[in-house]
Structure 1
Amino acid sequence: MKHKANTHISNAITKLVFAITLTLTLLYSIFVLGYSWVIEDNIFNRLVAQQASSIKHNYHMTGKIDVSDKQIYQLFKGWQQVPTEIREIVKSEPNRVEYRLADGKTYHLTRFYLGDNEYVLLADVARFEVSRDYFKGVLVWLVGFSVIACCLVALLGWRMGRKIAKPLELLAYTVKKLEKGGEAAFQQSIKHMPNNEVGQLADAIEHSFKQLNDALARERDFTKDISHEIRTPISVLQNALSLGSDSATLAEQQSDEIYFSEQAVKQMRSATQKLTQTTDVLLALARNESSIAQSVSLNRLIEDCVLNHFALNHSQKGLSLELEIDMPNDEVMIIANRNLLEILVNNLLSNVVAHASEKDVQLRISKSSIRMTNYFAHPLPLNLTSSGSKAANSTGIGQGLSLIERICTACGWTMHVEIDTEQQRFSVVINLK
């Protein structure tokens, strides 16, 4: 899966730092405004408390009850003399510090006793409130400070993000060049990686790449060796069987110490043919031949496979089958690897010869699919496409459908099976698109 770099680490870091800075500046602004209001209210409360203490002291010294500044302070004897609006506010919010009335005035109050009488002292502080007068100016300054701070921190975050992302981008670039044989450039780039987690990641990639190269080299060597070591004895065995059954006279057969009957020779021919097909499939998949595709005539390839299939044309079971081939009159051309497609069709034919319970077999070809249908008599295994899965009466190794599915996966095709238990019909469908 390819991931497109729709977002960069530097941008993500910038956005994150910007968001954190903006949040902190907003919280700081709210704190400053709230703190200024709290300080102002506490100053007014202290002034009211000092005035109340002055009234008490004057009362004890002279017996008179009076306020020093009647323009600011109002003294009421009992709650009944206090303005109704303030009484209602105190009744609903007894712990309130500041009381704002409908006429725009703002009061702070305190209660105290002189003798047995309760007095209420009100202070009109509206003229002395500075937080409201300077609120807009302070707000503008705080917003400006927040914007400047966010811009500076965002720039710092962007530079920090670029510094962090640069070695990662270099690492990604050099890793991509590995596909084109840039091992030397990759080795050189690793030397310049920072001594941190990025450098550790580069070392891990280098180690994994070396292991992968070693594994691929071993696989290539194995494929070459197994191709030679398996194909050579198979060819020798096929030639020996052909010469032994076709040219040997009766006298030579009777005088030979080792003699195979005609039936044994046929069985060995069938076994070598199956071994050849299996070898072709495994080697083709190991060499990743699916990447080498060309335009192939599906009609002609099917005809060649049917005419040249050994078991279909030379075994008793194969000769008893009546293969009905249904294909379009027009030539069906597909883009595929010819070798893998031929192996796939041959495996379909081999499965039919091995497992068909009746002579009627259908092979239908369309522009986008291949369908092989035959009848079956014995119960089918649960996981048909699993490696080693086979029916109880099968003499095979259970690799037929598994190999076909692997070929489909390698070529980008899909395979599925359809089972009609009522009519006991079994179909393998290969979708070529």
Structure 2
Amino acid sequence: MTDSIQRRLFMILGSFTALICIAYTLIALLLAYVTEDMVLESILAQQAKVIIRSSSHETLPRPDMDFMQLYTSVDAMPAAVRQEVRELHVTGGRKLEIFGKDGKHYHVLRLQLGSAQEVYLLAEVSPFLVVSHLSARVAGLMLTVALLMLVAALLLAYFLVRRIALPLQQLAEEVSSTPAKEIPSFKASQRRDEIGFLAKKLEDSLHARHTALLRETNFTRDLSHELRTPITILNNLLLAGQGRVLAEEDALVARQSVDDLMHTLDILLALARAENMLPIKLDLIACIEQSLLFVHYSTPAKRHEVTLDLPAQWLVLGNQHLIGLLLNNLFNNAMTHGDGQAAIHVFFEHPKLILSNAIRSDRHSHTAGFGHGRNLMERITSALGWEIRFEQSVDSFQVEIIPQPAIPGR
């Protein structure tokens, strides 16, 4: 990464911290100067009140403090302040602050004594400028303290930025180091904040992508594997039957191959769709009844006695379309490859659904009864989160299915 979020955060937070430190230092100095100036002005104002109260037409009172002088004319005042005082008289102002060229600091207050007499109270306050003298003497110390505080603030900002950016950096590292074929699991997804929410959503998104790629890979593999046999059979029949009408047995094999193609395509397309992986609560007994009716009416030539020994209701978690394909495939195989003289027995043995039938002896060498399409049935039950087991003997075949039970109240 050419631009790190930690570096950017540190630049922003560090700049803001430095700005705050400098601003508060300047504000502190400004407040010190303003406070000092207000104290001096308060002293002059108090002295002015005393002078006004004790004034008479014959004599002028003398200020109580040595650094203050009372003047009746501008010309009698020090040369450093005459020009500014004349401008004050012209503008009609009452007070003035003057920084003399000789390094002295003057405060001037114009007073009105009686009806016509004006006087000027002049105070040379440079000895009382504590902040200026203190700043000059301890400027190095103040600068050192300010720099130390700035460095401390920047260090604090650095550690805060590391603490803030570390979970994001760890998440980025985990994302970049996770192989494309692996299901990701991020440590940050355990956090209970925005970063944890982001990690969880990213984990779910990558998991969904991985699942979609897996379904696509399985679909491509199954197309080449499951459809090869019925297509080969049809191709051989067509090649062998060129120029003549197919025999009844060959036509039966061709129709069976086409049915196998249709069933296989239905199953593969169902497994490839993401919406078929979302489980809901269903009644398995109703699914069995619907599947039996579908197989009965879709293949009227096949007639078998089916014995059901099931409870009134059996709630499971699954997808209705996938469950229907599984049961249709099982019943269709049983009717096609089973012994026509024996019943298909479907019964409940907690927590299993068991389907059993006899195998026709004349087809035993060519088929495995319910075992036809076993790989696809295992794929369907795996997608449903169920379990399936096959048991075969010389003259019988049995399938045990353990569905995922529905939790009551959900």
Relative to the length of structure 1, the TM-score reads 0.46
Relative to the length of structure 2, the TM-score reads 0.49
